[in-house]
A and B are shown apart, each in its own frame.
Chain A
Amino acid sequence: SCQFSDSAGYVGFANLPNQVHRKSVKKGFEFTLMVVGESGLGKSTLINSLFLTDLYPERYIPGAAEKIERTVQIEASTVEIEERGVKLRLTVVDTPGYGDAINSQDCFKTIIQYIDNQFERYLHDESGLNRRHIIDNRVHCCFYFISPFGHGLKPLDVEFMKALHGKVNIVPVIAKADTLTLKERERLKRRVLDEISEHGIRIYQLPDADSDEDEEFKEQTRASIPFAVIGSNQLIEVKGKKIRGRLYPWGVVEVENPEHNDFLKLRTMLVTHMQDLQEVTQDLHYENFRSERLKRTGK
């Protein structure tokens, strides 16, 4: 039973989570999010919206940009965000040029290479002599942007996801959702899910709700995947309040309005699952990479 006074029987190790808490807050957290999708699908705008980075006072750390090919580039930028005393070092890996070339045959090879390189680096550091300051640059989550203009997944989408579902947690996102009516949105979502299932693609699965979590809400979140989202860098005045949105002649699309799109669901899902996303990356994707590597080199 839970006795929190010095009565006979109370030892005090129930305080351990607080000790862990204190150390974690001191240390801060790291998270790497990759965004993949054709140009013009609003990836950068969405990231800004998600993390309020253009409204936040921020400190940019020059990123480790690797320009490997002319067509697809990998641009990683790191930002430190602090909220209520919790420090997060967020790295966003952008992939400009993806799907832009006339022949997009190899465009995701660069991305696979990047992900593998981070695994490789981590494996090397983990096997080294001095392990005190290992930096985790592994990609914990990949938002894959699906165009709202098509009728479902394109061949490139399918190939990419099949190539990467064993290396990273894929969260499919329908971009620029304001070009669709609600009905069209539902139809597209269903189509995408069917095709994902058809091709045996494994996207990130939300873990089952804990006893203290809202099971219903979790189900609702699950049912909304793929999230149909809108992003915006502009503030518009609505009913006397300044909100993020897009101003059209026929009305204002509000980013953080759950009736307009799934932005809030996506953000909530991401921030409340950061720990799980990291865990799955470590326990599943990284371990797979590691055992393959070790078997291959026959060490």
Chain B
Amino acid sequence: PCAGPVESKNEAAMSELVPEPRQKPVVPMKPMGINANLLGYIGIDTIIEQMRKKTMKTGFDFNIMVVGQSGLGKSTLVNTLFKSQVSRKSSGWNREEKIPKTVEIKAIGHVIEEGGVKMKLTVIDTPGFGDQINNENCWEPIEKYINEQYEKFLKEEVNIARKKRIPDTRVHCCLYFISPTGHSLRPLDLEFMKHLSKVVNIIPVIAKADTMTLEEKTEFKQRVRKELEVNGIEFYPQKEFDEDLEDKTENDKIRQESMPFAVVGSDKEYQVNGKRVLGRKTPWGIIEVENLTHCEFALLRDFVIRTHLQDLKEVTHNIHYETYRAKRLNDNGGLPPMAVETEENNESNL
């Protein structure tokens, strides 16, 4: 099918928020009259434009989770990524607040718009992760949250009278923040990624990369890549989901050279060479966040947002969600989950 159940849309109210820009029609809506090309052109390619219009009209959901010890700059980074105040840091959270005793899951939603495309962005923060004295199993609340979103989607999907566009709260991308020790990954990092890479797209990032020189950074990245490989951790983009040679070539380069991205985040602007740039000001110079010679933030941003956004959603929907669903069906003897509950539940769910 041309569109398929890939994109789930947000409420209809959103489409009334911003008036659409009037675009020049690409589709030749008027018959051209008799011309020499009569015998050659049907107009099937216009279906692409129809789909594009649909994407623009309905907008899309994107849910990104950030995981890592407190102080690694997660909230700042997310704000930098979306050039908006979208993280927990910006919605009334106080830096002086105590570290929670257990891992909390905090989801904050924003609607942002760009070039006529509306995005309902949800940032899921996980304060308390890795901050306790005993961090055993601290990934469990996170895994639970992720699976709960799959369950929510599944329940809606098996409903008899189901919504036209199922609201998508599933986590499309999980940024895992590695501390820039310069040595190696910590046991907690390995445990988390081992467990969670099976249920969600994990993108490891090295946080606060401005504490390392270029050499230290290169070595650290190599070591981290090796450790991930040795421990069988499949981070996004996963090798087994490369669709064709083109994808494989592109993704191999990213997997083997660029990742994990060593990033610096900032929501402060400074003047450098007559331009306003996001950066961090130190006595020894200004670290420019979007300068590729300073850090790899721009690579991360392009990767997550400009080139692989749709793919992140598709892998979540077609792979992770389907895996969850298949397991639920199998656990239920091949039947959809609600079959067990029909007696208690009068609302004839499947």
Given contacts A8-B278, A136-B1, contact A212 B309 (CB under 8 A): no
Closest to A130 in B: B326
> Using a CB-CB cutoff of 8 Å, which residues 99-153 of chain A contact chain B?
127, 129-132, 134, 136
> Using a CB-CB cutoff of 8 Å, which residues 1-27 of chain A contact chain B?
2, 4, 6, 8-17, 19-21, 23-26
SS class, residues of chain A in contact with chain B: mixed
Please measure, in the bound complex, the distance between the C-alpha atom of A84 and the C-alpha atom of B329, giving whole angstroms.
42
CB 8 Å contact bits of B8-27 with A (1 = contact, 0 = none) = 00000000000011111101
Contact of B29 among A15, A30, A272 (CB under 8 A): A272
CB 8 Å contact bits of A258-298 with B (1 = contact, 0 = none) = 10000011011001111110110011000100110011001
Please measure, in the bound complex, the distance between the C-alpha atom of A268 and the C-alpha atom of B28, giving whole angstroms.
9
Given contacts A10-B83, A299-B339, contact A86 B45 (CB under 8 A): yes
Residues of B within 8 A of A223 (CB): none
Q: List 6 A-B contacts (CB under 8 A).
A: A13-B114, A20-B310, A257-B34, A271-B43, A275-B2, A294-B160
> Are A11 and B3 within 8 A (Cβ)?
no
CB 8 Å contact bits of B22-60 with A (1 = contact, 0 = none) = 111101011101101011111111111011111111001
Closest to A31 in B: B2
> Are B22 and A217 within 8 A (Cβ)?
no
Residues of A within 8 A of B145 (CB): none
Total chain B interface residues with beta-carbon distance under 8 A = 80
Closest to A235 in B: B39
Contact of B47 among A9, A15, A16, A275 (CB under 8 A): A275
Closest beta carbon of chain B to A143's beta carbon, Å: 16
- Please indicate which of the listed interface residues A258, A267, A268 has the most CB atoms of chain B within 10 Å of its own CB: A268
User: Counting CB contacts under 8 A, is A52 at the interface?
Assistant: yes
> Are A21 and B25 within 8 A (Cβ)?
no
Given contacts A11-B82, A86-B47, A212-B23, contact A268 B29 (CB under 8 A): yes
Total chain A interface residues with beta-carbon distance under 8 A = 77
Given contacts A13-B306, A19-B309, A21-B51, contact A243 B38 (CB under 8 A): yes
Given contacts A4-B115, A13-B309, A129-B330, contact A20 B51 (CB under 8 A): yes
Please measure, in the bound complex, the distance between the C-alpha atom of A290 and the C-alpha atom of B348, giving whole angstroms.
13
User: Counting CB contacts under 8 A, is B117 at the interface?
Assistant: yes
> Using a CB-CB cutoff of 8 Å, which residues 186-238 of chain A contact chain B?
210-214, 217-218, 235
User: Counting CB contacts under 8 A, is A183 at the interface?
Assistant: no
- Please indicate which of the listed interface residues A16, A131, A218, A258 has the most CB atoms of chain B within 10 Å of its own CB: A16
Closest to B39 in A: A55
> Are A85 and B45 within 8 A (Cβ)?
yes
> Are B42 and A52 within 8 A (Cβ)?
yes
Please measure, in the bound complex, the distance between the C-alpha atom of A11 and the C-alpha atom of B52, giving whole angstroms.
19
Residues of A within 8 A of B45 (CB): 83-86
Question: Given A86-B48, A275-B47, 12 more contacts at CB 8 Å?
Answer: A11-B112, A12-B301, A14-B117, A15-B305, A29-B47, A83-B42, A83-B44, A127-B158, A132-B322, A213-B27, A244-B39, A275-B50
Residues of B within 8 A of A14 (CB): 114-117
Please measure, in the bound complex, the distance between the C-alpha atom of A4 and the C-alpha atom of B340, giving whole angstroms.
53
User: Counting CB contacts under 8 A, is B162 at the interface?
Assistant: yes
Residues of B within 8 A of A84 (CB): 45
CB 8 Å contact bits of B294-309 with A (1 = contact, 0 = none) = 0000000110011111
Residues of B within 8 A of A282 (CB): 1
> Are B30 and A214 within 8 A (Cβ)?
yes
Residues of A within 8 A of B112 (CB): 11, 13
User: Counting CB contacts under 8 A, is A76 at the interface?
Assistant: no
